[in-house]
Amino acid sequence: MRGSSLRSVPLTAGALLSLAVGLVACATPAEPTPTPPADISAVVDVWEQLSGADASTDHNAIVEVWNTLDSCFVERETLDVEALGAAAIDAMTSQATVLDQPDSEHLSLVAIEAMLDVVDDPYTTFFTPDEYALYSEDSEGKFGGIGATVGLKDERITITAPLPDTPAERAGIRPGDVILAVDGESTEGWTVTESVLRIRGPEGTPVRLRVLHEGAEEPVEIEIVRGTIEITSVEWRLLPDGIAHVEISSFSSNTDEQMTATIEKAIEMGVRAMILDLRNNPGGLLSTTVNIASQFLVDGLVLYSVDGNDHRIEYEVRPDGLAPDIPLVVLVNNGSASGSEVLAGALRDHDRAVLIGENTFGKGSVNLPHNLVDGSGLYCTIGRWYSPDGHLIEGEGLAPDIEVEPGTDEDQDLQLDRAVEYLQSQVAAGAP
């Protein structure tokens, strides 16, 4: 079973890794059907019989989840309502054989998660009321956790990035680490969201992780004391030859403001070229991503999305960017996901930057949270992101123009060195 379940989702903020959608509305079918199909009605009937509860189809989470999937899910044509209904009934019946009096909320959760197992989309997940409230708190910008982001890679919960100066980084958590267990419980079969909810928690409380470091043969046990995570998402420094190295760790609500201040300061200091470092950047807010891309572009598209009705929504460059001509390199790796892939793809498709590093993560789903009547929620994949030239990000990611593996020496950054070398040649070629 999937278990209660965000993604590419963070152990820090819910907006990260799944490019949060404030600008995309859920697709609505031309003729919505408020009455559920027979297979879903049968699920509700069994739920009533086993729990002793009285269902209202207008306010039943099982029905609401189905209606949301039927109207919004990006691949609605693949939804097999008969299989969904059968899986839900089997799961509830199995629970009823081991419980004297099944709780109605528990049975509802069991049915919904059995349905979502059939849907088989890692970013379409269900939240109980408590989980949805926790998810909603992420927008406040402060949260208790270890300070890392996770994704689902090869069906395993995998760290995409520990955030700088956080409990996770200090404890030795690294990009590519596989989380095998949390507090002694195996993560096998967990969704990204479930891992986030299980690892996060109040400041000062411990969580014990069984971690398989990338390239290691044996896992290690790491205990981390959670902290309050606050993110400064833009940091920069001036390198020789007038090259600015700008690291963007996520796209939060004020990252575009931080980026504007950075560009203004860099221009004031006479910077001649810029490296945008998106390595281990898990993504964030769509509006912020579009705003930052627009600082370096003149016009055209930043990206577009396509939903389950083949409805295309375009996100255009916003006017008056501060740095439309400055030579650019974008650093990426397999921890660059979602919003960072959108930004990198836009800059490359507009011939504004080359990508240096490694293939990106491949998180290109449009995800939208739906608040259900009982306070629970469904986080539903409603579309796919595409770069301006039509490159599908989901599952594929972006291949770099110049591939550079990371150095084995912690004091050596071969990818950054190659970016500096490339820009030095560009600046020299354009010198008067």
Instruction: Please give the average per-residue pLDDT across 152-170, as a whole number.
Output: 90
In sequence order, the 6+-apart residues with CB closer than 8 A to the CB of 296 are 321, 323, 324, 326, 328, 347, 352, 353
Q: What is the pLDDT of residue 201?
A: 87
User: Which residues are annotated as catalytic?
Assistant: 338, 349, 363
Element (H, E) at 69: helix 61-72
pLDDT band (50, 70, 90) for residue 431? low
Which range, of 102-116, 126-140, 364-378, 388-402, averages the lowest pLDDT?
126-140
pLDDT tens digits, residue range 51-110? 888 876 556 899 999 999 999 999 999 999 999 999 999 999 999 888 777 788 889 999
Burial of 88 per CB tally in 10 Å (0-12, 13-18, 19+)? buried
Determine the Cα–Cα distance for residues 416 and 332; give it in Å rounded to an integer.
10
Instruction: Please give the average per-residue pLDDT across 301-320, as a whole number.
Output: 94
Residues in the chain: 432
Mean pLDDT for all residues in the chain = 87
Q: What is the pLDDT of residue 137?
A: 55
Nearest CA-CA partner of 228 in 169, 139, 142, 168? 142
Determine the Cα–Cα distance for residues 341 and 413; give it in Å rounded to an integer.
21
Decide if pLDDT at 13 tops 70.
no
Maximum distance among all Cα pairs of the chain, rounded to whole angstroms: 83
Mark residue 284 as left, alpha or beta (left: phi above 0; alpha: psi -120 to 50; beta: remaining).
left
Q: What is the pLDDT of residue 22?
A: 41
Burial of 108 per CB tally in 10 Å (0-12, 13-18, 19+)? buried
Decide if pLDDT at 41 tops 80.
yes
Q: What is the pLDDT of residue 34?
A: 59
- Percent of the chain at pLDDT > 70 equals 88
pLDDT band (50, 70, 90) for residue 284? confident
Decide if pLDDT at 11 tops 60.
no
pLDDT tens digits, residue range 226-281? 998 876 789 999 999 999 999 998 888 789 999 999 999 999 999 999 999 999 99
In sequence order, the 6+-apart residues with CB closer than 8 A to the CB of 239 are 245, 275, 420
Instruction: Please give the average per-residue pLDDT across 210-230, as a whole number.
Output: 94
Token code pair at residue 25 = 């509305």
Determine the Cα–Cα distance for residues 23 and 368; give it in Å rounded to an integer.
10
Residue 13, number of CB atoms within 10 A of its CB: 29
Determine the Cα–Cα distance for residues 332 and 282; give it in Å rounded to an integer.
11
Decide if pLDDT at 398 tops 60.
yes
Token code pair at residue 187 = 């993560």
